[in-house]
Copies of this chain bind each other. A is one copy, B any other.
Protein backbone atom coordinates (compact mmCIF):
# COMPACT_ATOMS: atom_id res chain seq x y z
CA UNK A 1 0.00 0.00 0.00
CA UNK A 2 2.44 2.58 1.13
CA UNK A 3 5.21 1.11 -0.88
CA UNK A 4 4.11 2.78 -4.07
CA UNK A 5 4.28 6.12 -2.33
CA UNK A 6 7.77 5.73 -0.94
CA UNK A 7 9.44 3.23 -3.24
CA UNK A 8 10.29 4.28 -6.74
CA UNK A 9 8.54 2.06 -9.28
CA UNK A 10 10.57 1.26 -12.39
CA UNK A 11 9.08 2.68 -15.54
CA UNK A 12 8.96 -0.76 -17.16
CA UNK A 13 6.67 -2.04 -14.45
CA UNK A 14 4.16 0.71 -15.12
CA UNK A 15 4.32 -0.10 -18.81
CA UNK A 16 3.55 -3.75 -18.25
CA UNK A 17 0.65 -3.31 -15.87
CA UNK A 18 -1.78 -2.29 -18.64
CA UNK A 19 -0.75 -5.36 -20.60
CA UNK A 20 -1.46 -7.61 -17.64
CA UNK A 21 -4.75 -5.85 -17.11
CA UNK A 22 -5.76 -6.31 -20.71
CA UNK A 23 -5.17 -10.04 -20.59
CA UNK A 24 -6.79 -10.42 -17.19
CA UNK A 25 -9.95 -8.72 -18.40
CA UNK A 26 -10.06 -11.00 -21.40
CA UNK A 27 -9.64 -14.03 -19.17
CA UNK A 28 -12.33 -12.79 -16.83
CA UNK A 29 -14.62 -12.41 -19.80
CA UNK A 30 -13.96 -16.05 -20.67
CA UNK A 31 -15.08 -17.09 -17.22
CA UNK A 32 -11.63 -17.94 -15.89
CA UNK A 33 -11.26 -17.12 -12.20
CA UNK A 34 -7.61 -17.74 -11.40
CA UNK A 35 -4.36 -17.56 -13.31
CA UNK A 36 -0.79 -18.50 -12.50
CA UNK A 37 2.17 -16.29 -13.22
CA UNK A 38 3.33 -18.95 -15.66
CA UNK A 39 0.10 -18.78 -17.66
CA UNK A 40 -0.03 -15.00 -17.53
CA UNK A 41 3.56 -14.98 -18.70
CA UNK A 42 2.64 -17.00 -21.76
CA UNK A 43 -0.20 -14.71 -22.65
CA UNK A 44 1.74 -11.48 -22.23
CA UNK A 45 5.14 -12.73 -23.37
CA UNK A 46 6.65 -11.66 -20.08
CA UNK A 47 8.86 -13.76 -17.87
CA UNK A 48 6.80 -15.27 -15.02
CA UNK A 49 9.34 -14.29 -12.39
CA UNK A 50 9.22 -10.78 -13.73
CA UNK A 51 5.45 -10.69 -13.34
CA UNK A 52 5.66 -11.84 -9.75
CA UNK A 53 8.30 -9.29 -8.96
CA UNK A 54 6.39 -6.52 -10.72
CA UNK A 55 3.36 -7.21 -8.57
CA UNK A 56 5.30 -7.31 -5.32
CA UNK A 57 6.03 -3.61 -5.78
CA UNK A 58 2.44 -3.02 -4.79
CA UNK A 59 1.81 -5.82 -2.35
CA UNK A 60 1.24 -9.54 -2.37
CA UNK A 61 -1.84 -10.54 -4.29
CA UNK A 62 -1.41 -14.21 -5.10
CA UNK A 63 -2.14 -17.44 -3.32
CA UNK A 64 0.65 -19.99 -3.30
CA UNK A 65 -0.21 -23.24 -4.92
CA UNK A 66 -3.12 -21.60 -6.70
CA UNK A 67 -2.22 -18.42 -8.52
CA UNK A 68 -3.87 -15.05 -8.71
CA UNK A 69 -7.58 -14.39 -8.32
CA UNK A 70 -8.37 -12.64 -11.56
CA UNK A 71 -11.23 -10.46 -10.36
CA UNK A 72 -9.19 -9.28 -7.43
CA UNK A 73 -6.05 -8.67 -9.47
CA UNK A 74 -8.00 -6.69 -12.04
CA UNK A 75 -9.30 -4.44 -9.30
CA UNK A 76 -5.91 -3.97 -7.74
CA UNK A 77 -4.20 -3.08 -10.98
CA UNK A 78 -7.00 -0.72 -11.90
CA UNK A 79 -6.60 0.97 -8.56
CA UNK A 80 -2.84 1.23 -9.00
CA UNK A 81 -3.24 2.79 -12.42
CA UNK A 82 -6.07 5.04 -11.37
CA UNK A 83 -8.46 3.25 -13.72
CA UNK A 84 -10.85 2.30 -10.93
CA UNK A 85 -12.95 5.40 -11.48
CA UNK A 86 -14.22 7.15 -14.57
CA UNK A 87 -12.16 9.62 -16.60
CA UNK A 88 -13.49 12.16 -19.02
CA UNK A 89 -11.64 12.76 -22.24
CA UNK A 90 -11.58 15.72 -24.58
CA UNK A 91 -10.99 14.89 -28.20
CA UNK A 92 -9.76 17.47 -30.69
CA UNK A 93 -10.21 16.53 -34.34
CA UNK A 94 -13.35 14.91 -35.68
CA UNK A 95 -11.86 13.35 -38.78
CA UNK A 96 -11.52 9.65 -39.40
CA UNK A 97 -8.97 9.19 -36.67
CA UNK A 98 -11.00 11.18 -34.16
CA UNK A 99 -14.12 9.22 -35.01
CA UNK A 100 -12.24 5.99 -34.64
CA UNK A 101 -11.02 6.99 -31.20
CA UNK A 102 -14.42 8.23 -30.07
CA UNK A 103 -16.04 5.00 -31.15
CA UNK A 104 -13.37 2.75 -29.71
CA UNK A 105 -14.97 0.07 -27.60
CA UNK A 106 -11.96 -0.41 -25.38
CA UNK A 107 -12.19 3.06 -23.93
CA UNK A 108 -15.47 2.53 -22.15
CA UNK A 109 -14.31 -0.84 -20.87
CA UNK A 110 -11.64 0.95 -18.85
CA UNK A 111 -13.79 3.79 -17.64
CA UNK A 112 -12.84 6.37 -20.23
CA UNK A 113 -15.61 8.48 -21.68
CA UNK A 114 -15.20 11.03 -24.42
CA UNK A 115 -17.35 13.93 -23.23
CA UNK A 116 -16.26 16.67 -25.61
CA UNK A 117 -15.21 16.73 -29.25
CA UNK A 118 -13.84 19.78 -31.05
CA UNK A 119 -13.10 20.61 -34.66
CA UNK A 120 -12.61 23.79 -36.64
CA UNK A 121 -14.29 22.50 -39.80
CA UNK A 122 -17.69 24.28 -39.97
CA UNK A 123 -19.27 21.35 -41.79
CA UNK A 124 -18.54 19.10 -38.83
CA UNK A 125 -19.88 21.33 -36.08
CA UNK A 126 -23.01 19.85 -34.54
CA UNK A 127 -22.50 16.45 -36.09
CA UNK A 128 -22.96 13.76 -33.48
CA UNK A 129 -20.25 11.17 -32.98
CA UNK A 130 -21.70 8.60 -30.68
CA UNK A 131 -23.63 10.72 -28.23
CA UNK A 132 -21.42 13.77 -28.42
CA UNK A 133 -21.99 16.71 -30.74
CA UNK A 134 -18.89 18.23 -32.29
CA UNK A 135 -18.21 21.72 -30.97
CA UNK A 136 -16.26 24.53 -32.59
CA UNK A 137 -12.68 24.85 -31.44
CA UNK A 138 -13.43 28.26 -29.94
CA UNK A 139 -15.49 26.65 -27.21
CA UNK A 140 -12.63 24.47 -26.02
CA UNK A 141 -11.60 26.56 -23.03
CA UNK A 142 -15.11 27.20 -21.73
CA UNK A 143 -16.23 23.61 -22.12
CA UNK A 144 -13.17 22.19 -20.40
CA UNK A 145 -13.46 24.57 -17.52
CA UNK A 146 -17.08 23.61 -17.07
CA UNK A 147 -16.43 19.92 -17.02
CA UNK A 148 -13.52 18.41 -15.15
CA UNK A 149 -11.42 17.08 -17.97
CA UNK A 150 -7.79 16.24 -17.41
CA UNK A 151 -7.04 14.12 -20.45
CA UNK A 152 -6.91 15.40 -24.01
CA UNK A 153 -6.39 13.63 -27.32
CA UNK A 154 -4.92 15.47 -30.28
CA UNK A 155 -6.06 13.99 -33.60
CA UNK A 156 -5.72 16.97 -35.90
CA UNK A 157 -3.56 17.69 -38.96
CA UNK A 158 0.12 18.11 -38.12
CA UNK A 159 0.23 21.85 -38.56
CA UNK A 160 -2.47 22.37 -35.93
CA UNK A 161 -0.95 20.06 -33.35
CA UNK A 162 1.13 22.52 -31.34
CA UNK A 163 -1.63 25.11 -31.17
CA UNK A 164 -4.20 22.61 -29.98
CA UNK A 165 -1.76 21.20 -27.45
CA UNK A 166 -1.10 24.65 -26.02
CA UNK A 167 -4.78 25.36 -25.63
CA UNK A 168 -5.49 22.02 -23.97
CA UNK A 169 -2.66 22.53 -21.52
CA UNK A 170 -3.78 26.06 -20.76
CA UNK A 171 -7.29 24.78 -20.13
CA UNK A 172 -6.06 22.52 -17.37
CA UNK A 173 -5.53 19.24 -19.19
CA UNK A 174 -2.81 17.20 -17.47
CA UNK A 175 -2.33 14.32 -19.90
CA UNK A 176 -2.12 14.76 -23.65
CA UNK A 177 -2.06 12.00 -26.22
CA UNK A 178 -0.57 13.22 -29.46
CA UNK A 179 -1.58 11.27 -32.55
CA UNK A 180 0.28 13.48 -35.00
CA UNK A 181 3.83 12.77 -36.10
CA UNK A 182 5.13 16.19 -35.04
CA UNK A 183 6.96 16.72 -31.80
CA UNK A 184 4.98 19.08 -29.60
CA UNK A 185 6.10 20.85 -26.48
CA UNK A 186 4.10 20.79 -23.28
CA UNK A 187 4.51 22.88 -20.15
CA UNK A 188 5.88 21.39 -16.96
CA UNK A 189 3.37 19.25 -15.16
CA UNK A 190 1.69 17.98 -18.31
CA UNK A 191 2.37 14.42 -19.39
CA UNK A 192 2.74 13.91 -23.11
CA UNK A 193 2.41 10.64 -24.95
CA UNK A 194 3.17 10.35 -28.64
CA UNK A 195 1.76 7.66 -30.86
CA UNK A 196 2.99 7.68 -34.40
CA UNK A 197 1.95 4.59 -36.36
CA UNK A 198 4.58 5.27 -38.99
CA UNK A 199 7.41 5.23 -36.49
CA UNK A 200 6.23 1.85 -35.34
CA UNK A 201 6.10 0.65 -38.91
CA UNK A 202 9.63 1.86 -39.54
CA UNK A 203 10.79 0.11 -36.43
CA UNK A 204 9.43 -3.26 -37.49
CA UNK A 205 10.70 -2.67 -40.99
CA UNK A 206 14.25 -3.00 -39.75
CA UNK A 207 13.62 -6.56 -38.76
CA UNK A 208 11.84 -7.29 -42.01
CA UNK A 209 14.86 -6.35 -44.07
CA UNK A 210 17.17 -8.29 -41.76
CA UNK A 211 14.89 -11.31 -42.23
CA UNK A 212 16.12 -12.94 -39.09
CA UNK A 213 14.17 -15.99 -38.13
CA UNK A 214 14.41 -14.89 -34.53
CA UNK A 215 10.96 -14.11 -33.25
CA UNK A 216 10.62 -10.52 -32.22
CA UNK A 217 7.74 -9.83 -29.93
The distance from the CB of A155 to the nearest CB of chain B, in whole angstroms, is 8
Within 8 A of B (CB), among A35-67: 43-45, 58-59
Would you call A79 and B208 a contact (CB within 8 A)?
no
Would you call B100 and A203 a contact (CB within 8 A)?
no
> Interface size bucket, A side?
35 or more
Within 8 A of B (CB), among A85-100: 87, 95-97, 99-100
Residues on B with beta carbons closer than 8 Å to the beta carbon of A158:
105
The distance from the CB of A190 to the nearest CB of chain B, in whole angstroms, is 9
Is A14 among interface residues, defined by CB-CB distance under 8 A? yes
The distance from the CB of A212 to the nearest CB of chain B, in whole angstroms, is 8
Instruction: Decide yes or no: A193 and B203 within 8 Å by CB, A208-B150, A217-B79, A217-B80 being known contacts.
Output: yes
Contact of A18 among B17, B26, B83, B202 (CB under 8 A): B202
CB-nearest residue of chain B relative to A96? Answer: B100
Q: How far is the CA of A46 from the CA of B198 in the complex (A)?
A: 19
Q: How far is the CA of A79 from the CA of B82 in the complex (A)?
A: 42
- Quickly give the copy total for this chain: 2
Residues on B with beta carbons closer than 8 Å to the beta carbon of A192:
217
Of A118-126, A163-171, A177-185, the stretch lying at the interface with chain B is A177-185
Residues on B with beta carbons closer than 8 Å to the beta carbon of A202:
17-18, 21, 81, 83, 110
Instruction: Decide yes or no: A193 and B198 within 8 Å by CB, A26-B182, A181-B106 being known contacts.
Output: no
Is A6 among interface residues, defined by CB-CB distance under 8 A? no
Would you call B105 and A217 a contact (CB within 8 A)?
no
Q: How far is the CA of A201 from the CA of B103 in the complex (A)?
A: 15
The winner among A59, A188, A203 for most chain B CB atoms within 10 A is A203
Would you call A110 and B15 a contact (CB within 8 A)?
no
Is A137 among interface residues, defined by CB-CB distance under 8 A? no
Is A160 among interface residues, defined by CB-CB distance under 8 A? no
